[in-house]
Amino acid sequence: SSGPTVDAGPVRIGYFPNITHAPGLIADAAGFFGTRLAAAKATPTTSSFNAGPDVIQALLSGSLDIAYIGPNPTVTAYVQSKGAGVRVIAGSTSGGSSLVVRAGINSAADLKGKKFATPQLGNTQDVAFRYWLSTQNLTATKDGGGDVSILPQANSAAVQAFKTGNIDGGWVPEPYWSSLVKAGGHVLVDERTLWPGGRFVTTNVIVRTEFLTKRPLAVQAFLEAHLDALDLCAADAGKARGFAASQIKKITSQTPDAGSLAAAWGNLAFTADPLAATLRQSAANADSVGLLVAKPTDDFASLWQLDPLNAVLLARGQKAVAA
Amino acid sequence: MTSPTTSISERRPLDPIDVPARPRPTRRPGRKVLAPLLAVVVLLAVWQGVVATGWRPDYLLPGPVTVLAELGHLVTLPEFWAAMARTLSRALTGFALAIVIGTAIGLATAGSALLRASIGSLITGLQTMPSVVWFPLAILLLGLGEGAIMLVVVLGAAPSIANGVLLGVDQLPPSYFRLGRVLGAQGWTLYRHIVIPGALPAYVSGLNQGWAFAWRSLMAGELLVVIPGTAALGNRLAFAQEFADAPGLMAYMLVILIIGMIADQIFSAWSRYLRRTRGLTQA
Amino acid sequence: MTSPTTSISERRPLDPIDVPARPRPTRRPGRKVLAPLLAVVVLLAVWQGVVATGWRPDYLLPGPVTVLAELGHLVTLPEFWAAMARTLSRALTGFALAIVIGTAIGLATAGSALLRASIGSLITGLQTMPSVVWFPLAILLLGLGEGAIMLVVVLGAAPSIANGVLLGVDQLPPSYFRLGRVLGAQGWTLYRHIVIPGALPAYVSGLNQGWAFAWRSLMAGELLVVIPGTAALGNRLAFAQEFADAPGLMAYMLVILIIGMIADQIFSAWSRYLRRTRGLTQA
Amino acid sequence: MTLTSSPPAPAVERGRVRLKGVGKVFGSGSQAVTVLQDTDLDVRPGEFVAIVGGSGCGKSTLLTMVAGLEKPTSGTIETGGKVALMFQEATLLPWLTATQNVELALRLQGVDKAERRDRARHLLQRVRLGRYVDLRPHELSGGMRQRVALARVLAQDAAVVCMDEPLGALDALTRDQMHDLIEDVWLEARFTALFVTHNVREAVRLADRAILMGGRPGRIIHAEENTMARPRVMDSAPVAAAAAGLTQRLKDEVASHDESDYFDI
Amino acid sequence: MTLTSSPPAPAVERGRVRLKGVGKVFGSGSQAVTVLQDTDLDVRPGEFVAIVGGSGCGKSTLLTMVAGLEKPTSGTIETGGKVALMFQEATLLPWLTATQNVELALRLQGVDKAERRDRARHLLQRVRLGRYVDLRPHELSGGMRQRVALARVLAQDAAVVCMDEPLGALDALTRDQMHDLIEDVWLEARFTALFVTHNVREAVRLADRAILMGGRPGRIIHAEENTMARPRVMDSAPVAAAAAGLTQRLKDEVASHDESDYFDI
Ligand SMILES: Nc1ncnc2c1ncn2[C@@H]1O[C@H](COP(=O)(O)OP(=O)(O)OP(=O)(O)O)[C@@H](O)[C@H]1O
Ligand SMILES: Nc1ncnc2c1ncn2[C@@H]1O[C@H](COP(=O)(O)OP(=O)(O)OP(=O)(O)O)[C@@H](O)[C@H]1O
Ligand SMILES: [Mg+2]
Ligand SMILES: [Mg+2]
């Protein structure tokens, strides 16, 4: 294609210091962002967040351009901005959440009268748990009542509450899944078993719509870096994990436990495929348990904008993905 | 050379010397209520003005009309009132606890040089800790329940109250202590009849601050600990925030603001009453 | 019938009437520093005692030895000092801003009955809002970065400072205002020479509270966004919590506590100085 | 609130104090207390007026209104030029030393720094506090505080100087010295003085005119010019005689009223 | 700090006040100021002692120490029974009405509620404030506040009553009535009175013994028994004569010192 080959200007990228955002962490730590964006004369700056709403707020108000984010905030950003604010330009991570429970609980029926954590009312895991319960004919109200008591709380608090016996388990993402297991829990439901092909979206990459239209070259360069990271995950898991770990350390000053990290890594899959159908399904599930923020008028028709990704994938000799 | 001449009774109301250096007790009864309402109205107008410029899309910065409509919808929902009732009752319980504990600590530290030098700083030090760090401890000590929330509320509010007591006692004219001793008041009697009433205005201000921090800590607490079967304002606020539901978030913020303002009005009225009876209101 | 007889100079030091009802200026210079240290030591001892009972496993409740070792390790790391420096400089900047804004608001509301009735409550109302709810607004107004953090800090601290000013002015004996007017002080001059110095003790107490809340809000604000490689105390604290790193969390809590106590010591010393020169320290 | 309802104040010359039909009511409704009623007084520029009257009869209230700190409920008060007031309580600012308390009055008149300090020290010497200039109020005795306040009111350089029992806490010797001081400064500066005292001989010692006030409600019951030559001696026979006359007058006045009305039984 | 270093206090009988070699120094080191030096005084139970002296000579400090609010730096003070003190400033609690201020003194002695109120009102009537019992301090005049404080100190029912210039803010008529009142209560209750005043005739009117104090450092320079029959009349010739004698004594004493030392130049 003809047009400019450089796209000077800042590119602001956000992610969480969390293993489910590994491709972002790796691309940053390994210098892929730097190299790829420098080739387009753009300057990447990365920042790390702690909460999805802050990422969305930053993105929608123009303080951030590209972010690794879960499906739930993705839906929120899309719906709240009436389909205008953001686009998914790639997938990142699949899998990595499950229902971990304490010993003695071995079936859905055993959950009755017990208390379980989810990260946040209405978030991906919370919806998954509630939907699954509904398929088991168990009730759970939004305020923690019903057959099974769901108590949304911060993941780290959930781990502690589990250790002190205040809760009986939780439907949590990695690395807390591994933490709960380490604290004596066992997996009752691996969410992968609930999805066709064992794959469902855990993290994808969103971009500000305006940025996508105005800065196609920067987006392209970003995608190259992102795919570099995914390739490294596929080619050398150990090395990739090392990059992720070092970036987490750099941000949090905490050294992730190598064993837990490896365990978590095994429960995740990294892919450029945004697994669009699973996001749609998850939104439908949320709707059925009454936790969808609002129905998009277009059934997410323009959420995914995968042309740039597919162009890069094809250029790298990989298969295109579909929304 | 003409000398300046002034005729006191004939000065116009806005002559500078007539502008009271401090508010005089207002006679118009409605004003105490009208003025804050006016402030809110001005705030809403400015906000609407900003929104009207189209500076930000309305899903980021909804206008007051949207937010008020949302609020109008909220107040029709029984769950809203249930959440409100739950949160208010927690706030009142926690605040009551904080009053007892904060007052006791304040009086103890005010009355003892050693205690003051030793734990005075510790208390303020504890106050600098954000609420969230107390949760692991609260959960550890009291489990995941009302107890943990109460602990965090008390930790948030008690220091302010203790500080109010301390400031009140420190500001008391030494002549009151001397009078108390001459009248034979010692220990608790001295506190009961001289120190506490004397420190009351600062104490009320401490209570006002304490309420603000009780409420603030409670919001944090309700974000982190959910008790089965109970929705509360804090959770709903968090829920609105999680869903980037700007009108909802702002509607809840308005609710919190209004409750805070009502509380402040109560404490202010109390404080005005105290100042009036003590002759502190005339400039 | 024998009458009670007392010989003042010969009373023993612990005779009740000799126990000062309020602390007298202590002459031993080390005591002001030693007493809080003692309090910390007692705290550590109690903590060690609880841990020694084996009530909770040490990964949930580590003992002081473990935590102090962790702290000892932390202070050898240059990143720790970098984080400390970043957070302290943010705290100082934010606090300075909050002082300017809080003082201005306090003086304005103290000086005007209308402003006080209208925005007085609004300010306290804003104070009841937890820091996190300000994040969306902060990002919207100031973008991601220091500005947003500063906004949260100022919103946390300024109301306490304004409140200190208000309380100080309200508590001033009306005779000072009258004196000021007789001496020809009006408007700013009245404030400069009479009101502000007179309100200083309460103001210092407000500053102390303001610092606590500046710090507290900063801890929350630093969670907002982290540029990799530029950690600050607030996010280190949060991440220690995320990673269930109990010794690390407690070590950071100790750091915050110590900084808070140092700040309190500074403000307390100031306040003691003020009370001494005003003759408020003798019972 | 309309401008026309208050006719332009007739200009009075510097130093004049003119009260016309002045009344003061505290509180309102059933709580209303009439403290001062229908008081007329015209003080010539440079005149020294002493005000004598029973406890609670409204002397302080009158001075407060002349100084512009309270507004009369009825009538008008006109004053020419700046009015200084020495309060019945010393009212020193506790965070300032004796010197600084006096300096503040000078500072607020715009006197510059160097002069300020000298004048303050000089005045404190004249009230015989030269050794105590750097002490703070709480380190001073009651009478010493009163003298600092006296120094301060004299520092104000006002056209009208109101003093509310300025020497009540002083021993006879110091008081006599303060009489000389006040008279000297008054003769130098020719300010108008309104001087409240309970000591009738003091009133005779100092004043050109003594005003007797009665209470419940406060009002002027008698005024007496005093043309004795200055300086007058407090312990002299003529002063004592004049004082006795005034005291008798006050007692008669009281007797002519129901005592239970004058005294607050 | 050892117990043996303070020998057991010899018991003094109720109402006695005995000062032996009492000294008071404020501050320490280079800041030290000796306010009172080597003062001996023995007051008999039931005696009425008036203390007269220059401004700042240490009268209030002396009373404060007798009341146990300050400790002497040297010497001993022994008092038999409860000591009440009326401060130089009225020191009323602003949140209490006049009645409540007086009632507080009774309450702290354990007087029960009904009696408390009656006694407080009765005392306020005797200080001629019967109409003002429900006003708060800021609504009272200076002299009225002083009388509330007087009522309060009399309510204390103490063995020793110290009064620091209790009538300084009162007009002559009211003051005379208060003299009668104080004398009556004293004759009824036979407390020991320590009465500071700047009015030498007042001292002669009331006291069994007048003590003259000199300043810098404060000390007792003269004591004079007064055996005139009671009731004495303030304006009578014998009282005036005795007062003149005392005043002369005070002046002589001052003259015998360097004046600049006695007065604070
Ligand atoms: N704020 C007030 N509210 C009600 N009454 C007041 C108020 N201020 C003063 N008064 C009343 O006004 C009267 C006169 O008071 P004022 O202080 O003028 O007396 P005074 O002549 O100065 O007496 P004194 O010689 O005792 O100082 C008193 O009866 C007092 O109770
Ligand atoms: N806290 C203090 N620090 C230093 N000096 C003090 C202190 N308190 C009192 N003094 C000094 O002690 C001396 C005596 O004070 P005191 O109040 O006893 O005098 P007084 O005889 O009652 O005088 P007056 O008649 O003026 O009330 C004064 O010179 C005063 O400056
Ligand atoms: Mg008066
Ligand atoms: Mg004295």
Count the Cβ atoms, other than its own, within 10 Å of residue D252: 11
Decide: D56 in ligand 1 pocket, CB within 6 A: yes
Distance (Å, whole) CA A233 – CA E236: 115
CA A94, A100, A106, A107: dihedral to nearest 10 degrees?
-60
β-pairing verdict for D160-164 and D83-86: parallel
| Nearest chain E residue (CA) to C14 | E1
Tell whether the model's pLDDT for residue B18 goes beyond 60. Answer: no
| E97 contact residues in D (CB cutoff 8 A) | none
Distance (Å, whole) CA D134 – CA D129: 10
CB contact under 8 A, B197 and E95: yes
> Does B179 touch chain C if contact means CB atoms closer than 8 Å?
no
Residue A216: is the preceding peptide bond cis (ω within 30°)? Answer: no
Tell me if E73 sits within 8 A of E23, measured CB to CB: yes
Q: Which chains touch C (3 or more CB pairs under 8 A)?
A: A, B, D, E
CB contact under 8 A, A151 and B143: no
CB contact under 8 A, D81 and B17: no
Pick the atom of ligand 1 nearest to D24's CA. 12
Distance (Å, whole) CA B249 – CA B234: 11
> Does C198 touch chain D if contact means CB atoms closer than 8 Å?
yes
Q: What is the pLDDT of residue E254?
A: 67
DSSP D129: B
pTM of the model: 0.86
Which uninterrupted H or E stretch holds D51? strand D48-53
Q: What is the pLDDT of residue A155?
A: 85
What CATH number does the domain located at D14-78+162-168+192-227+250-257 have?
3.40.50.300
pLDDT one-digit tens code per residue, B133-159: 887 778 777 877 788 889 889 988 998
Task: Find the DSSP H helices in chain B.
Answer: 31-52, 64-74, 78-111, 113-127, 134-142, 146-171, 174-182, 187-190, 196-224, 233-242, 246-277
Q: What is the pLDDT of residue A232?
A: 93
- For ligand 1, the distance from its centroid to the CA atom of residue D57, given in whole angstroms, is 7
> Does C175 touch chain D if contact means CB atoms closer than 8 Å?
yes
Count the Cβ atoms, other than its own, within 10 Å of residue A320: 14
Helix (H, G, I), strand (E, B) or coil at D131: helix
Residue C29: is the preceding peptide bond cis (ω within 30°)? Answer: no
Of D1, D13, D75, the CB nearest to B9: D75
In chain A, the percentage of residues whose pLDDT exceeds 90 is 49
Q: What is the pLDDT of residue C203?
A: 92
- Burial zone of D113 (CB within 10 Å; 0-12 exposed, 13-18 middle, 19+ buried): exposed
| Nearest chain B residue (CA) to A164 | B140
Q: What is the pLDDT of residue B31?
A: 61
Tell whether the model's pLDDT for residue D165 goes beyond 90. Answer: yes
Q: Kindly list the distances between the CA atom of residue B85 and the CA atoms of B89, B166, C125, D118, in Å, as whole numbers in the listed order.
A: 6, 33, 19, 68
Q: Which ligand is nearest to the CA of E58?
A: 2
Tell me if C211 sits within 8 A of C259, measured CB to CB: no
> Does A247 touch chain C if contact means CB atoms closer than 8 Å?
yes
Q: Kindly list the distances between the CA atom of residue A234 and the CA atoms of A238, A270, E147, E249, in Å, as whole numbers in the listed order.
A: 10, 8, 96, 112
Lowest mean pLDDT among C9-13, D230-234, E122-126, E153-157: C9-13
> Does D46 touch chain B if contact means CB atoms closer than 8 Å?
no
| C131 contact residues in B (CB cutoff 8 A) | 130
Phi, psi at D38, each rounded to 5°: 45, 55
- CB pairs < 8 Å spanning C and E: 53
Task: Give the DSSP per-residue string, B37-98.
Answer: HHHHHHHHHHHHHHHHTT-S-TTTS--HHHHHHHHHHHTT-HHHHHHHHHHHHHHHHHHHHH
The whole-angstrom distance between D71's CA and the closest CA on chain B is 6
Tell the residue nearest (CA) to atom 30 of ligand 1: E140
Domain locations in chain E as residue ranges: 14-78+162-168+192-227+250-257, 83-157
Q: What is the pLDDT of residue A51?
A: 83
CB contact under 8 A, C176 and D69: no
Q: What is the pLDDT of residue B146?
A: 84
Q: Please say whether the dihedral angle defined by the alpha carbons of residues B169, B174, B177 and B180, taken in this order, is positive or negative.
A: negative
| Nearest chain D residue (CA) to C179 | D91
The whole-angstrom distance between B225's CA and the closest CA on chain A is 6
Segment A89-100 shows an average pLDDT of 92
Residues (pLDDT < 70) of chain E are 1-10, 254-265
Q: Regarding the domain delimited by C96-165+201-277, which CATH topology (the fold level of the hierarchy) does it fall under?
A: MetI-like fold (1.10.3720)
Segment D217-236 shows an average pLDDT of 89
Q: What is the pLDDT of residue D258?
A: 46
Segment B265-279 shows an average pLDDT of 88
- CB pairs < 8 Å spanning D and E: 115
Tell the residue nearest (CA) to atom 30 of ligand 2: D140
Domain locations in chain B as residue ranges: 96-165+201-277
Q: Kindly list the distances between the CA atom of residue A267 and the CA atoms of A97, A175, A192, A270, C91, in Å, as whole numbers in the listed order.
A: 8, 9, 9, 10, 41
- For ligand 4, the distance from its centroid to the CA atom of residue E60, given in whole angstroms, is 4
Distance (Å, whole) CA D57 – CA C131: 58
Lowest mean pLDDT among A118-122, A212-216, C147-151, D237-241: A118-122
Segment B252-273 shows an average pLDDT of 89
Which uninterrupted H or E stretch holds A202? strand A201-208
Q: What's the angle, vertex CA A179, arms to CA A173 and CA A184, rounded to 5?
A: 120
Decide: E155 in ligand 1 pocket, CB within 6 A: no
Residue C78: is the preceding peptide bond cis (ω within 30°)? Answer: no
Q: What is the pLDDT of residue D40?
A: 94
User: Which pair of structure tokens corresponds to residue B21?
Assistant: 């250096």
Tell the residue nearest (CA) to atom 17 of ligand 2: D141
Decide: E141 in ligand 1 pocket, CB within 6 A: yes
CB contact under 8 A, E93 and B185: no
Segment D203-223 shows an average pLDDT of 90
Of D68, D105, D137, the CB nearest to C183: D105
Q: What is the 3-state secondary structure (H, E, C) of D162-228?
A: EEECCCCCCCHHHHHHHHHHHHHHHHHHCCEEEEECCCHHHHHHHCCEEEEEECCCEEEEEEEECCC
The whole-angstrom distance between B41's CA and the closest CA on chain A is 27
Phi, psi at B163, each rounded to 5°: -65, -40
CB contact under 8 A, B110 and C268: no
pLDDT one-digit tens code per residue, D101-114: 999 999 999 999 98
pLDDT one-digit tens code per residue, B148-189: 889 889 988 998 899 889 888 988 889 999 999 999 998 889
ipTM for the predicted complex comes to 0.85
Count the Cβ atoms, other than its own, within 10 Å of residue A234: 12
